[in-house]
Amino acid sequence: MSLDKRKVKILKAIITSYIDNAEAVGSRTISKKYELGVSPATIRNEMSDLEDMGYLVQPHTSSGRIPTDKAYRYYVNDLWEKIKSSRHPNLAQLRKIIEEKSNELDELFKNSVRILSQFTRYTSFVVAPQLKQSVIKRIQLVPVSEHKVLMLIILQANIVKQVMLRLNSPIPFDQLEKISASLSERMYGYKMEDIDTIKDTIIKELYISKETSSDALMEILPYLMEQIAKLDDLNVYSDGITNILDLPEYNDVVKAREFISFVEDKSSFAKLLQHTGDSDLDICIGSENKHLELKDCSLITATYKLNGKLIGRIGVIGPTRMDYDNVISTVKSISDAISDIINQNYSIENKE
């Protein structure tokens, strides 16, 4: 049995109806709502065939049918040519909103996930650029209190990483300035991934340097280097996590709690993104996801790039019953906007 034109029309009508209403679809509904030119009895027979083929399922004996993951995959694949080149109709407006008050990458990502969540009404996230390949430009130690110092690590493309340090004894401001200058001089140009390998050499160089050595530096130097080497490389911004509570699929409190716990866990996101492909746009539907908590969800991610190189991802997690056309074009458009803004404001090539 194959998907002929009539079956395809009926399947698409059922998917569209279920996306709109979240209610099982019967033959009479399809007959009345969509002009398919066939009787309810014919539609009913075709729906039975579609169920046998794995595209539909009947949740209850007396109810209509709902699409399966296989149906959604067919639907998305059929849309693919249109989807991959589509852009949100308000792309210019989207970019303007995202760019407002986005002087730093941190604000850019926060704005992006907020707008994406508002436009799709689903949970949105951005995985910030991984720092392993980032080059260190400067280290700055800023006093916060007598026993607390904020270490700022300024990286290539003006990405700033912060670490709060606790001191055993206070260090005068002028000493902190000297330590900052010494560290910046020794570590300038190194990549973050090199630090663990070179930290012992840098410590040794500073120990034997008469110009910069001081009791304060010698006391905290090993601690500083250890903290830099241990910096968390994964930074995820998210928004609209509780939007899932507005969806009928998550009326079950236990199910909703499991979902929220999963998306709030950084390590979960790390594992999740390990299974996304290398393509600029990736769509995982229902059972295609590797995690049980997302078996009723679709995950749509798009990449953003700096100087043509992939540096992060933005995406949406929502029910399999989502408006794929609109959601995919919005995700893709916002990822393109992020790439444009980053290349315009942070690209070394543009600054030179």
Q: Are both 5-67 and 136-229 of the same fold? A: no
Average pLDDT over residues 164-170: 82
Residue 104 or residue 287, greater confidence:
287
- Name the residue ranges covered by the structural domains of the chain: 5-67, 87-130+234-351, 136-229
pLDDT of 76: 94
Q: How confident is the model at residue 1 (pLDDT cuts 50, 70, 90)?
A: confident
Distance of alpha carbon 184 from alpha carbon 138, whole angstroms:
5
Q: What is the pLDDT of residues 226-277, one digit of tens each?
A: 777 666 556 788 999 999 889 998 888 888 888 888 888 877 776 676 556 6
pLDDT of 17: 94
What is the token pair recorded at 206?
């500073």
Task: Specify the fold of 87-130+234-351.
Answer: Beta-Lactamase (3.30.450)
Contact present, 325 and 88 (Cβ < 8 Å): no
Contact present, 266 and 236 (Cβ < 8 Å): yes
Task: Specify the fold of 136-229.
Answer: Enolase-like; domain 1 (3.30.390)
pLDDT of 300: 94
pLDDT of 351: 45
pLDDT of 103: 65
pLDDT of 131: 67
Q: What is the pLDDT of residues 24-53, one digit of tens each?
A: 999 988 998 888 888 889 999 999 999 999
Tell me which of 1.20.120.160, 1.10.10.10, 3.40.640.10, 1.10.150.20 is the CATH number of domain 5-67.
Answer: 1.10.10.10
Distance of alpha carbon 12 from alpha carbon 10, whole angstroms:
5
Q: How confident is the model at residue 349 (pLDDT cuts 50, 70, 90)?
A: very low
Distance of alpha carbon 64 from alpha carbon 58, whole angstroms:
6
Contact present, 341 and 115 (Cβ < 8 Å): no
**Mean pLDDT score across all residues of the chain:** 83
Contact present, 208 and 202 (Cβ < 8 Å): no
Q: What is the DSSP string of 81-143?
A: HHHHT---TTHHHHHHHHHTT-SSHHHHHHHHHHHHHHHH-SEEEEEPPPSTTPBEEEEEEEE
Task: With CA atoms as reference, report the closest residue to 299 among 313, 318, 312, 314.
Answer: 318
Task: Look at residue 158 and tell me whether its pLDDT is greater than 70.
Answer: no
